[in-house]
Amino acid sequence: VPPLGVVGVALENQRYDDALGAFVLFMTNFVSIVLAAAGVFVLTGFAESANLRSRSRQIMATLAPFSALALVILVPLVFTTEGIVATATDQKDATAEAEEWIEDSPRLQVEDVKVEGATVTVGLTGTGTIPPPRELQTDMTEELGRSVEVVVEFTPQVQVTVSKDGTVRGEQAELEEQ
């Protein structure tokens, strides 16, 4: 979906942060295309050097607003990039911490780790019991350098076997009876 389309849809749904993000993307694309095209015209010789010299004030007057706009757009892009890098780092560190937390429980597996602000959600699957969650919370707080709430979502893995003779074996053989 083109960024301006996203702006309209987001505004209609009162998602102003999404609308602002899509508008910044549109402006980034627009300014980048104009400045890149100007550079390509000069470098390829399409814009003749005699014309560039004789009309330098007009050219500068045309390009100056785009250059200024590029600098203005750069500010939110830097903050967005910084946030993405910080989130990716937190995600990696939290995943490593969760893996370490269950390393003595070979029948457990980390399926998913989400870091959203001050909440870390760890999705586990497997069988058996989970290690003490308070240990994970303490380790996550230390690793991430801030106090976090840890939510552990544990989905037990159930294995039911029906043999060739129809005998049902497994942790929840009563499922077959229902």
Contacts of 26 (CB under 8 A, 6+ apart): 2, 3, 4, 7
Average pLDDT of the residues in 15-35: 92
| Residue 173 confidence class, pLDDT cut points 50, 70, 90 | very low
Read off the pLDDT of residues 111-121 as tens digits, 9 standing for 90 and up: 999 999 899 99
Q: What is the pLDDT of residue 111?
A: 94
- Output the six-digit token pair for 34: 């104009």
Q: What is the pLDDT of residue 32?
A: 92
pLDDT digits (tens, 9 = 90+) for 91-106: 999 999 999 999 999 8
- The interaxial angle of helices 16-44 and 3-12, nearest 10 deg, is 170
The pLDDT confidence band at residue 171, using thresholds 50, 70 and 90, is: low
User: What is the predicted pLDDT for the residue at 104?
Assistant: 92
Q: What is the pLDDT of residue 88?
A: 93
Tens digit of pLDDT for each residue in 131-166? 999 999 999 999 999 999 999 999 887 777 787 887
Please give the Cα distance from 18 to 23 (Å, whole number): 9
Average pLDDT value for the chain:
88
C-alpha closest to that of 155 among 90, 107, 99, 92 = 107
pLDDT of residue 176: 43
Q: Alpha-carbon torsion 4, 6, 9, 11, what sign?
A: negative
Residue with the two structure tokens 């627009």: 30
Q: Give, in degrees to the nearest 5, the angle at Cα 121 between 120 and 124.
A: 140
Mean of pLDDT values over 171-177:
48
What's residue 177's pLDDT? 46
Q: Whole-model pTM?
A: 0.59
Q: What is the 8-class DSSP label of residue 158?
A: -
Q: How far apart are the two ends of the chain, measured CA to CA in Å? A: 48
